[in-house]
Copies of this chain bind each other. A is one copy, B any other.
Amino acid sequence: MARISAESDTYGALPRLGAAVRARRKAMVLSQEAMADAAGIDRSHMGKIERGERNVTLLNVMRIAAALGCKPSDLLLDADL
């Protein structure tokens, strides 16, 4: 969950995953706050994950996928990762 520098994210994986999360969230007409609450993730941290500003952990990907009613692998596939 550490703050990350762009150089360490060679493939732009974090912004791509964040965009995939945002797209599914918006398709569900869910606010970022509601999704964060459903996932049990701090709202401010959730915003940073969606913007690709944090190195999201697998357990948070699990929580986000559960809140979005999809599999964690679906989020990675959406992000072409």
Contacts and interface: CB of A to CB of B under 8 A. Distances in A.
Could you say which interface size class chain A belongs to? 20 to 34
A58 B13 contact: yes
A56 to B, nearest CB: 5
Contacts of A10: 62
B58 A14 contact: yes
Interface string A51-81: 0000111110110000000011100110001
Contact of A58 (B61, B71, B77): B61
A9 interface: yes
Interface of A: 1-2, 4, 8-11, 13-14, 17, 55-59, 61-62, 71-73, 76-77, 81
